[in-house]
Structure 1
């Protein structure tokens, strides 16, 4: 693995969390005639609440659950609402439903650390059900946490090394590469209540090896839409975590030509619905900054493939009781999705499956230093991982070229070369373990280790492509030095006689050399050179981040004096 200098990445978990100031607080009640209505709110000047939070904080399907936490984005603020639903025989519809929420400035990261208000908001909502007309507690909460004039987002003092005061898009500063949730902590600390990363391990077990192709889609800054049933808290946490996992560190950004700090992260929009279709339509475009990740309970958005590039269909709630494990389905946007969804979506590669198995083994090692999961649960997960390669709907089968290659190597070496493949897989295991635990094997909480793993993978991918690009350019310059003089003079005369626009075109063609990615490069990036999808991923990465064309070179062996490539 290429030597990487990557700073420690650890989740923000102070012992006594300080809730951030709020720009608004609101109460939404369910009225059986009018639906959800804003019955009370307080806000600082310039913050629109009415006509916004009723829809954003209460997505479709919430009436089917008892409680939920809903995250959303509104202008320069992260919104969080706590929803409660209780039976009430005295009510017209035999139920009482309401939500209490806040808006928090996004100066504090992807979610404004709004989860630090979550538990209190849930308590306020439960108490409000018992006394619908009494808003005294809400008034007191507003007075305690209201945003002071000197703390307004436009006036908040920013660290020039961390933020840029450039124009915002959808409430996010351009320059913040990492959420405040990736700052340093000690290994003995635990995550604060309702921190989104608390569900990260559950997401890993839910997606299995599919987590890696989803992460690669995020690296390509695709528009990712997650379709889920209520409750939505888990999906909102997944939005946050996917944005964190696919972030690019400041130390890696200089490797990318013309990259800026706004490209460092995939923008999380959290919960979106029918009312946000107009905004999602405006997100269409090219470039790294056009990507986003969001979740929705409105199935109608899934039938509009122009709104997204990648669709993630979460398992239905009844899948928890299915005889066999049900995985999320990941499909690419296409016009056919307006009629039906494919039964088989994007699949993990064979390398993804091995890396996932190594990840589970590493997490099991880390669990020994924490409140460990039961041996039965861990053994079950590890057993499942070993059977993933047999699931043709989950993992790509071995390509014919790989089968032919391994068969030819075995035949040419009279059966002695099989040990070489076992050794390669053992090296993969050691590499993956080092990426998860760090070179010194320092103990840390599992969620922190997973974030560090993906950030190190990201650094390795960008570093390897940058090296391949430089190698290609150096090779091209070397070839030019050995051209015949007459050829050089002819080219020089042609350029001199050309019009300016023709000269620019010739220079562009000359500079647009195809970047060659070798089999060794693919191994260095932890990718599967035999997989068509991984090859396409690399080609898209080079095109998106470097603006270049590329080609992945096949593995080559010599047999009976012949060089054979696959």
Structure 2
């Protein structure tokens, strides 16, 4: 199957709401032996009645991805003044997290609209005959384990970090408008600095449940992207043992509901999963998940509301001060990328020479100038850990001990260099300025927004994959060094992690959440226990933590 070719479908179905019996499958076609039980509930999550249309992604039987288009129109009182239906397909997940099912989304919208308005069942039949799996391709894997083994094998064959290949595999041409990757700018805007602790939770293979109201497509896109950025790039796998193969990618379950409670409870805790639901009651099932993400309800014109991250035992998770600085730096870089692209396009159109003041995306000065004021716009202080008094005392002591020299600037320079190593050599960024044949920035705003979304998705996915590789290779090096200091063939019982080690990983030495992240990473990926040193201030021989 080519990159832009819609996948063959294993099933096509229409789900309606009957006032007497509830949700029911009114029409269906499928390959032999494929059980469609439950698709009626997965296709119509609660709360959709408030939307004119929506798109729902879900996983069916662990072997197929479902894509369902919801449509609604006014009706008589017997139908509660509204009539709605969903038309969906199932595709094999062997082609990726969603089996590229989003490529069918435009057609599914047309089918749902036609069935709802004109009862056009003939269109369903024609679509099924055109896209159905033929007999030679309809053989299903015998078990979920075969699916996982196949995915792991494919992951290990791919090189996750060679130029831009460590990002999303986007087409050279404009990608489908329903591709979940295009939500990447929205993900960054919606979560802000919280994206980093959420990414780390996914990297620890936590069971993550996003609770929020429709549109469901937006929430499913978030699930998709979280599973992508928390994947393990190939270079990092070389530092891991074969026992971790099943952990290389977390399970994106997409939309789930009350009917999925039993299957969620029986999922393998170690491999983790990411899912979204419109059923608030799932948030009360504390044993189902490790981390609950409460998404704010859309409220145009009101004060900015941030998501809330809460563990199963009720502890609120916030971003660290390091996360906040990293978030601001990324936002500044993305803005600079857009300006560079537009400036380059203007230069190409005018035939002007390259300005000496043009941004140099490979230069450390780009990142150094990305710093912004210490003010927290949009209520960011609500989602970021406050500066601890120990950190404040430490910085004040350094300022006093150095007679007012800018130690803080030195730390900022170290962070800048670290971020530069992750971002500075991305070919995709350099091409914007260096490619003389680069197409001018599109004049159409919708096309420009899509181009921006594609570039953001590529850049951020590459960034997170490189950050993941840095975490794993740094920890592997520390483990190997500790074992080398013991007798041959003997492993160190507890790995000592210093504050300098934590800082070198790009984490916040003052954040207990970051220290716990290091401990859990070593436990999950290396099967080792760690003792993480806490940064502190030593005065008159006494250490104050």
1:263 to 247, 258, 265: 247
TM value normalised by structure 1: 0.79
CA-atom RMSD in angstroms: 3.1
1:362 to 313, 326, 333: 333
Distance across 1 between alignment mates of 2:70 and 2:170:
34
Q: Which residue of 1 aligns with 2:323?
A: 352
**How far does residue 115 in structure 1 lie from its aligned partner after superposition?**
0.3
**How far does residue 195 in structure 1 lie from its aligned partner after superposition?**
0.3
Larger Rg belongs to: 1
1:20 lines up with 2:7 in the alignment = yes
Q: Which residue of 1 aligns with 2:48?
A: 62
* Structure 1: gaps (5+ residues): 1-11, 157-163, 373-380, 481-506
Q: Which residue of 1 aligns with 2:291?
A: 310
**How far does residue 46 in structure 1 lie from its aligned partner after superposition?**
1.1
1:142-541 matched pairs, under 5 angstroms: 142-154=128-140, 167-168=146-147, 173-177=151-155, 189-283=173-267, 285=269, 287=270, 289=271, 291-318=272-299, 320-322=300-302, 324-334=303-313, 345-368=316-339, 386-387=375-376, 391-416=380-405, 419-438=406-425, 441-443=429-431, 445-477=455-487, 511-541=491-521
Q: Provide the secondary structure at the position in 2 that maps to 1:395.
A: coil
Q: Provide the secondary structure at the position in 2 that maps to 1:26.
A: strand
- 8 Å Cα contact 1:353/1:385 also seen in 2: no
Q: How many residues get paired?
A: 489
- 8 Å Cα contact 2:304/2:379 also seen in 1: no
Q: Which residue of 1 aligns with 2:348?
A: none
- 8 Å Cα contact 1:554/1:565 also seen in 2: no
**How far does residue 311 in structure 1 lie from its aligned partner after superposition?**
0.2
**How far does residue 399 in structure 1 lie from its aligned partner after superposition?**
1.8
* Structure 2: gaps (5+ residues): 344-369, 433-454
Distance across 2 between alignment mates of 1:299 and 1:274:
9
1:92 to 61, 70, 79: 79
Deviations 1:340-380 (A, max 9, x none): xx7xx2110000000000010111122235679xxxxxxxx
Query: In structure 2, do the counterparts of structure 1 residues 559 and 443 end up closer, same or farther at CA, with 3 Å as the change threshold?
Result: farther
Distance across 1 between alignment mates of 2:118 and 2:265:
42
Distance across 2 between alignment mates of 1:215 and 1:47:
35
Q: Provide the secondary structure at the position in 2 that maps to 1:69.
A: strand
**How far does residue 201 in structure 1 lie from its aligned partner after superposition?**
0.8
Distance across 2 between alignment mates of 1:229 and 1:390:
22
1:109 lines up with 2:96 in the alignment = yes
- 8 Å Cα contact 1:519/1:553 also seen in 2: yes
Q: Provide the secondary structure at the position in 2 that maps to 1:306.
A: coil
Distance across 1 between alignment mates of 2:24 and 2:34:
18
